[in-house]
Structure 1
Amino acid sequence: MVYNEFLADRVRSALKGFHAAFEEKLMFGGICFLVDEKMCVGIIKEDLMVRIDPENQEEFLQEPGCRIMDFTRRPMKGYLYVDAEGVDMDEDLDKWVKRCLDFNPKAKSGKKKKAK
């Protein structure tokens, strides 16, 4: 797994600062932070991966360092990458983490239910 460990530490700190209970999971060749068992925010290589309200996606795409997440070579609605330019300052990272936490209660869980 090759992802920016320093950025991961900063995300952990931000989540703790917002008093969010979270779990960490290695996935997509990076690390993902789950809140309420749902993907919330993560790091893929050097980029922050954010799960945001799809209704705000076009607005957020105008911000520095932000682009569509196309991990599967197809755009993923409600998921964005933010590069180092967009999270250089702690205030910027906190803003993105807060957006992810704000959307989390509305996000659908990817957890599969067991068949009976």
Structure 2
Amino acid sequence: MARLRSFPEIGRVELIRHFTLTDADEAFLRKFRTGRNLFGAAVQLCALPWLGYVPDDVSSAPAAAVGRLSQCLGVPMGELRDYGARSQTRTDHLREIAAYAGWRCAAGTMSSSPSRCGA
């Protein structure tokens, strides 16, 4: 259960494959107006297909991934630290991200747990 709370290490190939945003991804993410929400949503969007779930502690994403997204989005890395202070924010964003990415969840549920959602 502890492994669901934070991110594992990431290799170079995984970093490039999963933490590269498309133009459509960037357009979708721009609706999350503040820097911290934009950044947190981007991490969730990239983590979902990589891991099959989003760890509880979004700010524990690998430094290389955070740096890559920071550069791409033009948002300082420190903005991620303040993301999701309200757990409902993370859940609401994850619902939107899952729908955008084509993930479906069991009726009436939304969880970062891999057993609840699938592509």
TM (normalized to structure 1)?
Answer: 0.26
Larger strand share, 1 or 2: 1
> Which structure is higher in RCO with an 8 Å CA cutoff and minimum separation 6?
2
> What is the TM-score normalised by the length of structure 2?
0.26
Q: Which has the higher helix share?
A: 2
